[in-house]
Chains A and B, each alone.
Chain A
Amino acid sequence: MENDKENEISQNNQPQAETPRKLWKFWLMLVFINIIFLAVIVKLFIVQVINSDQYKEAAKKQHESKVTLTAKRGNIYDRNGNLLASSLQKITVVVDPSILNDDKMRKTLDKICTFLSNETGVPKEKYIDKIQNSDKSYLILARGIDPWKSSKLKEIDDRCVFLISEPKRNYPFANAVSQLIGFTDNDNVGKIGLEKSWDSVLQGKDGFIIMSRDAIGKLHFAADLPYQPAMDGNSLYLTIDIKYQRVLEYELQHGVLKTNSSSGAAIALDPSTGEILAMASYPDFDPNNINSEAIPNMKNRAITDVYEPGSTFKGITAAAALEENLFSPDDILDGHNGSIDYGQYTITDVHPIGRVTFREALEQSSNVIFSSVGYTIPDNDFYKYIRNFGFGLNLGIDLPGESAGRLPKPDNFTAAIKRFMGFGYGIMATPLQVLCAYGAIANRGDLMRPYVVKKAVKSNGQLLFETRAEKIRKVITEKTAKTLTDMLSGVVSRGTGKSAILDKISVAGKTGTTKLVVNGAYSDNYIATFVGFYPAEKPEITLIVVLDKPIGAYYAGSTAAPIFRNICARFLNLKQLDNQVKNDSQSGDSTNLQRNLRFIPEINGLDYTKAENLLKQYGINLESVDKSSIIFDRKIKSGEKLESGSFIRVETDTNSIKKPDVTGLSLRHAIRLLQNSGYKVKVNGYGLVKRQEWSDKASAGKECTIYCN
């Protein structure tokens, strides 16, 4: 196509004798090069277009890694929002012994073990031993190290120390409520108590994030890969009032020690609703520090241990007799001067009495009289009332391990069985069952289902559910309940329960001192019980105190009753103080004694309603002009303390809210914020965000590109 010019005379000086340019050679080279280029293009087409999928698959395999996002376990609060259990991020230290055991690493090994020893108190040599005797390349050395401290380990050595962030359950009140709440194992699964029975509610659902991975295994965030956020667990609000709980525990502990009892249990209940206000067993344990010594103390004796209720059961027998109109309080009954012989067995009284009223028989807790009262009630009626008061069946409390006790069937009733049942022998019950039966008496004859979980709240602040007070059944009429309450008040004011008398407040209650059965025979060990409620006219609290094997003065009247009284007195004080605070405080919603400082939760990135709900739980009010936007305010420092009832004012510059400034934030945080604001995120690099760029092209949708270091 070109004019050949090879024959033209060159303008240069160099001689040119003949034509050097053999054009066929020129064209041959040209064609040859073109062919090899074409070969490359064809091969590229095969690799990039035809076999593309196969390589994409291989790439995915090596580029992407699924990382589990651990859901945060829900918190547990008392009825007033005081934190009873929460999850903290703690660090588990893992080392690679296969590297550390090298002689060159001696110094590093020593440094790591010294550091851990300082943190945990475990001798350094133990760690060194552990490492040197391991042939694995992954050895868990220590758990529960604080994140800010553990980072120093990374400075010692980066190659063989791995820090794994794991949630660790934290129980700020330690031993308080320990049996009730229980604890979780290292895998964050509830083992006993509420942590166990409410595990599925508290746990939440782990999410995952597909991260891109580079050739050396480092993971990077990538906005375009699937991301399933973790669903944090729900939080529980209990019916427990931590102030009442601590009083109850303190008095129970002191009572147990003072009476030389082997253990004790106590429960306080709001009779009108069935809400458990406090529940404790002593000895207790510290759920933050689980060891083998703690195991025997983990039982929630108040609901798991059964015993013969003894004299406390006389209230139940009396209720049946009154309701069936077999006796009235002023009927005269014969106490046989403290002893009656039925041939095979003799029933005796501690305080022998002669002919007394039914009321006096209860006040003096006469076994003789109540054996004949029990005998008088027809089999089926007696069984019905006992059953209706909640004996022999689970009450259905929302706690694990509740015992049903034991109640003989009416078909098996004999005269002896009925006589002994009349004063509380031959039947097994838990302290909770006895308490609830008295609760029914206090609550005008209505038996309420006891419960400890008031409500569950989702991590975003929404209510998951709320427990409503539930009446199980009407056991006795209001009239009978009133009569019985009056009789029980007499027990305290005149009878065996005198040491439970409170100033100005009338208490109704009943003592019970049960001989313990050991190897089928009654022993010299006793269980001392006091159960009752106050004020008798309009009961607010029903309370039971049970002491196992008090030594010395074992009668309930001198052991359990004083504890009962102490607890009630202090409950009354608390209530008085609460009322004072209520009257003093202008906002009127502060239910706590002291200034109620609350941590500000993380609200950046939430929309207004969610943030408002969340803050409400913390007793903080949210103020913002623009209620339709995502909260974004740099000045809010989550984790700072604020007084309950205070206001947070949120930055309302719409622009800054709609276009969040994410520089300086971590990549993950930044991505979340931007995505919540409706932006597609493009990421360059990883680490902290250095700068960001906006593009508002209508076609591509809102997009923000962030650049990291």
Chain B
Amino acid sequence: MEESSSKGRIDWYILLPVVGLMLFSLAFVYSASATRAQMKFGSSEYFFLKHLARIIVGLVVIIIFAKIDYHKWVKYSKIALIGSMLLLFYVLLTGQAIHGASRWINLGIINFQPSELAKFTLILHLSTLLAQKQEKIKDFKEGLLPLLFWSLSVCFLIGLQPNFSSALVIFLISLSLMFVGNANLFQLGTIALFCLVGGLGYALTAEYRLQRILSYLGLAKGDEGVVINYQLKQALIALGTGGFFGLGPGQSRQSNLFLPESFGDFIFAIIGEEYGWLGSIAILLAFGFIFWRGMLIAKKATDDLGYFLAFGIIITFSIYVFVNAGVNCGILPTTGLPMPFISYGGTAVLFYAAAIGVLLNISAQAGVYPKSKK
């Protein structure tokens, strides 16, 4: 800690857009959730207040994690990953079924989502392993196999919930981490091919997954197709009505129960409705800025662990933003992945905050800001 703080301060350039997005998300969530909250709980602020509490906790979490030397996590990475896998296992056995999937543990205040925890403990552990095994990384058994084992186990458990899209995205993140971590490209390619085939098989085993993919391809028939297309149709109507400048803050009409998940997975469409194209690209540019800044931190990280960890974190952010925005505007098949910091959702906010905290700690040790001493 002492050494690191001497190196520099945290990167304000990444913290500011993050905090900005978190604060703006308050307005977004309020506007997008008011009607539903009014209807379900008799108070339009119901979701807003919960979100507000989480944003506040999230800010605290950022500060705490930014203060903790990221090297300290190495010791706990394996145990944390095993712990989160146990939790994943636990939700499979007992978890509440929400939308036909067991994803949550009810902790009273929030519904805890172990997959969010598992996502970040996996990145942490993969980064640790990659940093440790750089010499042996080309060796399949010693190098790649343990990495594959952990990733596949986590993804398998998440896929069983069933939450295929999260499993797929997390596996993609793992692969890209291995790719940047110098895994043998031939081995990686073979695995990717295997997983593609396996994933496709898996996708086809569940009716709703098949329907979603068919619906994306415009081939779905019957009710399921209608429902999924309904979400996309409503999202597109929201974005389209927004036009260039948007209808104005709080003027969303699609959030009047037309668009399901209007403050969760489809909040981006509501933002597009209220703030227009300008608003939606502003969000994307803010994330883009976070991405570029995160990549810079990764590049400047003082050691391999920092490099891999920063890369893993920032690639997770970006992929989630891309998938969410892509689903909202219809270039990806409809799936329920939240937009980091923007979507309403308890666990996600806290873990993303923790991840940003870690990233900030890496940046502080790398001395990204202020620019390296000269």
Residue tally, chain B, CB below 8 Å to A:
64
Does A33 sit at the interface, judged by CB under 8 A?
yes
B7 closest partner in A (C-beta): A11
**Pair A55/B236 contact, Cβ less than 8 Å:** yes
Q: Are A11 and B3 in contact (CB under 8 A)?
A: yes
Q: Are A48 and B3 in contact (CB under 8 A)?
A: no
Return the CB mask of B298-336 against A: 1 if under 8 Å, else 0. Answer: 111011110100010001001001100110011100000
- Cβ 8 A contact of A63, one of B253, B272, B277: B253
Interface size on A, residues (CB 8 A): 48
User: Is A59's CB under 8 angstroms from B302's CB?
Assistant: no
What per-residue 1/0 map shows which CB atoms of A181-197 lie under 8 Å from chain B? Answer: 00000000000000000
Interface flags for A232-255 (1: CB within 8 Å of B; 0: not) read 000000000000000000000000
Contacts of A54 in B (CB 8 A): 240
Q: List residues of chain A with CB within 8 A of the CB of B329.
A: 40, 43-44, 47
Let me know if A48 and B276 touch, CB within 8 A.
Answer: yes
Q: Are A214 and B256 in contact (CB under 8 A)?
A: yes
Contact across chains for B180 and A29 when beta carbons are under 8 A apart: yes
**Docked pose: A685 CA to B7 CA in angstroms:** 52
Contact, CB under 8 Å: A12 / B295: no
A18 contacts the other chain (Cβ, under 8 Å)?
yes
CB contacts (< 8 Å) of A518 on chain B: these are none
Query: Is A20 a contact partner of B307 (Cβ separation < 8 A)?
Result: yes
- Report Cα–Cα, A525/B339, bound state, in Å: 96
Given A41-B284, A48-B242, answer yes or no on A58-B237 (Cβ-Cβ < 8 Å): yes
Q: Within residues 35 to 86 of chain A, which ones have a CB less than 8 A from any CB in chain B?
A: 36-37, 39-41, 43-45, 47-49, 51-52, 54-56, 58-59, 62-63
Of the candidates A11, A58, A62, A685, the one whose C-beta lies within 8 Å of that of B38 is: A685
Specify which of A17, A30, A48 is in contact with B295 (CB 8 Å cutoff).
A30
- Interface membership of A684, Cβ < 8 A: yes
Chain B residues within 8 Å of A25, by CB? 179-180, 182
**Is A346 positioned at the interface, with any CB of B under 8 Å from its CB?**
no
Of B3, B34, B331, which is within 8 A of A40 by CB?
B331
CB pair B3 A2 closer than 8 Å: no
A699 within 8 A of B: no
Known: A214-B256, A214-B257. A10 touches B303 (CB 8 A): yes
| A47 in contact with B34 given A11-B3, A62-B258, A216-B257 (CB within 8 Å) | no
CB-defined contacts of A55 to chain B, threshold 8 Å = 236-237, 239-241
Enumerate chain B residues within 8 angstroms of A63, measured Cβ to Cβ.
Answer: 253, 256, 258
**At the interface, yes or no: B44 with Cβ under 8 Å from chain A?**
yes
CB distance from B42 to the nearest CB of A (A): 8
The B interface is mostly helix, strand or loop, or mixed, namely helix
* Residue of chain A at shortest CB distance from B246: A48
A24 to B135 alpha-carbon distance, docked (Å): 19
- Who on chain A is nearest to B71 by CB? A12
List A contacts of B258 (CB < 8 A): 62-63, 214-215
Q: Contacts of B132 on A, CB cut-off 8 Å?
A: 14
Chain B residues near A685 (CB, 8 Å)?
Answer: 34, 38, 44
Identity of the chain B residue whose Cβ is nearest the Cβ of A47 in the assembled complex: B239
A219 to chain B, nearest CB (A): 10
Q: List which B247-306 residues lie within 8 A (CB) of chain A.
A: 250, 253-254, 256-259, 272, 276-277, 280-281, 284, 287-288, 291-292, 295-296, 298-300, 302-305
A644 an interface residue at 8 Å Cβ cutoff? Answer: no
- Nearest residue in A to B258 (C-beta to C-beta)? A215
Q: For the complex, is B150 an interface residue (Cβ under 8 Å from A)?
A: no
Residue in A closest to B3 when the chains form the complex, CB atoms: A11
Q: Could you say which residues of chain A place their CB within 8 Å of the CB of B277?
A: 44-45, 48-49
In the assembly, what is the distance between CA of A40 and CA of B182, in Å? 29
Interface status of A5 (Cβ within 8 A of chain B): yes
Q: Does B134 contact A (CB under 8 A)?
A: yes
Q: Which of A8, A17, A216 has the most CB of B within 10 A?
A: A216
Chain B, 211-241, CB within 8 A of any chain A CB: 233, 236-241
Chain B residues with CB below 8 A from A43, complex form: 326, 329-331
Name the interface residues of B126-180: CB closer than 8 Å to any CB of A.
130-132, 134-135, 176, 179-180
CB-defined contacts of A214 to chain B, threshold 8 Å: 35, 256-258
Q: Is A16 an interface residue (CB 8 A)?
A: yes
B243 is an interface residue with CB less than 8 A from chain A: yes
Chain A CB within 8 A of B369 CB: no
Most buried by A among B3, B243, B272: B243
Other-chain contact of A58, B181, B240, B296, B322 (Cβ < 8 Å) = B240
Expressed in whole angstroms, the Cα–Cα distance for A49 and B279 within the complex equals: 12
Which residues of the partner chain A approach B242 to less than 8 Å between Cβ atoms?
48, 52
The answer on a CB contact under 8 Å between A12 and B305 is yes
Q: Is the CB of B176 within 8 A of A29?
A: yes
Please state if B296 and A2 are interface contacts (CB–CB under 8 Å).
Answer: yes
For A26, list chain B residues within 8 Å (CB). 180, 295, 298-299, 311
List residues 374-396 of chain A with CB under 8 A from any CB of chain B.
Answer: none
Contact A33 B135 (CB under 8 A): no
Nearest-neighbour CB distance to chain B for A254, whole angstroms, equals: 63
User: In the bound complex, how far is the Cα of B321 from the Cα of A579, in angstroms?
Assistant: 89
A56 in contact with B281 given A63-B253, A212-B253 (CB within 8 Å): no
Write out the residue numbers on chain B whose beta carbons fall within 8 Å of the beta carbon of A18.
134-135
Instruction: Check if A409 is an interface residue, CB within 8 A of chain B.
Output: no
* Cα–Cα, bound, A5→B301 (Å): 9
A504 near B: Cβ within 8 Å? no
What separation, in Å, do the CA atoms of A63 and B256 have in the docked complex? 9
Complex CA distance for A8 and B331, rounded to whole angstroms: 43
Contact bitstring A431-442, B, C-beta under 8 A = 1, else 0: 000000000000
A17-B131 Cα distance, complex, nearest whole Å: 11
| Chain B positions within 8 Å of A12 at CB level | 71, 302-303, 305
Taking a contact as CB atoms under 8 Å apart, the answer to whether A22 and B182 are in contact is: yes
Q: Which residues of B contact A22 (CB under 8 A)?
A: 180, 182
Is the C-beta of A21 less than 8 angstroms from some C-beta in chain B? yes
Residue of B nearest to A224 (CB): B251
Chain B min CB distance to A211 (Å): 12
B residues less than 8 Å from A36 (CB atoms): 322, 326
- Determine how close the nearest CB of chain A comes to the CB of B256; give it in whole angstroms: 4
- A sample of 7 inter-chain contacts (CB < 8 A) reads A12-B71, A14-B132, A21-B304, A37-B318, A48-B277, A52-B241, A56-B241
Q: Which 7 A-B pairs have the closest CB atoms?
A: A55-B240, A214-B256, A215-B257, A48-B277, A10-B303, A215-B258, A52-B243
Which residues does B use to contact A, with CB under 8 Å? 3, 7, 34-35, 38, 44, 71, 130-132, 134-135, 176, 179-182, 233, 236-244, 250, 253-254, 256-259, 272, 276-277, 280-281, 284, 287-288, 291-292, 295-296, 298-300, 302-305, 307, 311, 315, 318, 321-322, 325-326, 329-331
Hey, which bits of chain A sit against chain B, CB under 8 A?
A: 2, 5, 8, 10-12, 14, 16-18, 20-22, 25-26, 29-30, 33-34, 36-37, 39-41, 43-45, 47-49, 51-52, 54-56, 58-59, 62-63, 212-216, 220, 684-685, 709
New contact pairs (19) apart from A49-B277, A685-B34, CB-CB < 8 Å:
A2-B299, A17-B134, A20-B181, A20-B182, A29-B176, A36-B326, A37-B288, A40-B325, A43-B326, A44-B329, A48-B239, A49-B243, A52-B242, A52-B243, A54-B240, A59-B253, A63-B253, A214-B35, A214-B256
